[in-house]
Amino acid sequence: MRGAIAPVPPSQRRARVPHGLAALLRACVNVARRCMAPAPVRIALRLGVSAGLLAWLLSVSREELSSLEVGSKSAAAAWLIAAALTIAVAFVMASARWWQVADTLDVKVSGRSMLSIYLAAQFVGNFLPTTIGGDVLRVNRLGRMCGSRANAFATVIIERLTGWIVLPLFTLAALAAQPSLLRHSGGQIAGGLALGTLLVLAFIVWFAEHPRGLGRLSGGTHIRDWLGAVHTGLSVFRRNRGAAGRLLSIGFAYQFLLVAATALAGAAIGVNPGLLAWLAFAPMVLIVQNLPFTIGGLGVREGALVLFLDAHGVNEGEAVLLGLLLYALTLLVSLTGAPALALGGRRRRGKAPAEVPLGP
């Protein structure tokens, strides 16, 4: 059974939303806006953090980089082409995951349109040093097509949550399959980060889905409408186990493709710590590179690779080079989203979806 995200009648909204909680939410938003630095300052700070981290990593790995030798250049090129194609397939799989969320929530948009929006968002998020962000672009464009930015926001948040659930599971499964990975600090940190991520996500999902969490904030203002849509969407997936299983399956396939792309790029420069090591550490690199402190994860990704791969025969120079190669490949594939970004989104309205009651 599919569910649609629909607005709740105004009378029910006012009865459900506690005034104290609404006032607290508005106060938190106002404080965040006042504390937020202007956009140029935020961009400059992120650029500064990336540049500082990269400069430090390049300085400590200068000798390894200068002595790094790549075997056959044609073989290296083939590995890199394979990695780029794998990233491209992963982007298509990610858009399919997003479409699966939208389809389950009865947000009717074609898969082709979702792919176009997703590629444009990847171009913005990976290539442009902007504070708008790819996810904001996705919400705006999908919102124009389906007629509700709240519903579009819910699809993006739920799609994102799926990825963050899958990545720690890869790490924990690999560490359980090869406990020797835990003998070194990198494996211990990866295991702790995976467990911590799952605990935080469990709380977020519980709070977002529970009627006493975001369920109390459904309706009244734009912010509460958006949060309420997330609550309703998660409730739909809780009731529709088949759709949740399909979504997680697509999520596993997508994240595995990104791990495979990392391994292929590593093979191009002779980095091969083993399949289970890739499954344990690459997901944690994917998590930390999304921290909003740098441009495109520059510096953070390379540092994480140095940390996790140090005990597996990978020197600092190789780890830094691998991180830069992954960034370059992602940028290259993200260029496919430039035409979609330039063309912009077209508004498409369909039949209004049926209402789904909030809560379990």
Q: Are 102 and 148 in contact (CB under 8 A)?
A: no
The closest of 262, 245, 206, 224 to 87, measured between CA atoms, is 262
Q: What is the pLDDT of residue 13?
A: 40
Residue type, 234: L
- Dist CA 281 CA 186 (whole Å): 8
Q: At what angle do helices 73-104 and 241-268 cross, to 10 degrees?
A: 170
Nearest Cα neighbor of 321 from 299, 308, 302 is: 302
Contact 234, 209 (CB under 8 A): yes
Cα 126 from Cα 133, distance rounded (Å): 9
Strands (E) in 24-177, as ranges, are none
Question: What's residue 164's pLDDT?
Answer: 85
Q: Are 64 and 309 in contact (CB under 8 A)?
A: no
Owner of token pair 């994102």: 160
For residues 211 and 358, the answer to whether their CB atoms sit within 8 Å is yes
Do 247 and 233 touch, CB atoms closer than 8 A?
A: no
330-360: b (≥16 Cβ within 10 Å) or e: bebbbeebeebbeeebeeeeeeebeebebee
For residue 287, count other CB atoms closer than 10 A to its CB: 19
| Residue pointed to by tokens 């708008």 | 132
pLDDT of 359 reads 33
Instruction: Please state, for a pLDDT cut of 70, what percent of the chain lies above it.
Output: 70
pLDDT for the residue numbered 60: 63
- Please say whether the beta carbons of 101 and 113 come within 8 A: no
Length of the chain: 360
- Report the number of secondary-structure helices (H) and strands (E) in the chain: 15, 0
pLDDT computed for residue 222 by the predictor: 63
Q: What are phi and psi of 268, to 5 degrees?
A: -65, -25
What is the signed CA dihedral for 42, 46, 48, 49, rounded to 10 degrees? 140
Helical H runs in 210-315?
Answer: 222-239, 241-268, 275-288, 300-309
Give me the residues of the chain with pLDDT under 50, please.
1, 7-22, 24-25, 27-29, 31-35, 131, 346-360
CB 323 within 8 A of CB 301: yes
Which pLDDT belongs to residue 195?
Answer: 96
Contact 22, 225 (CB under 8 A): no
Whole-angstrom distance, CA of residue 325 vs CA of residue 77 = 12
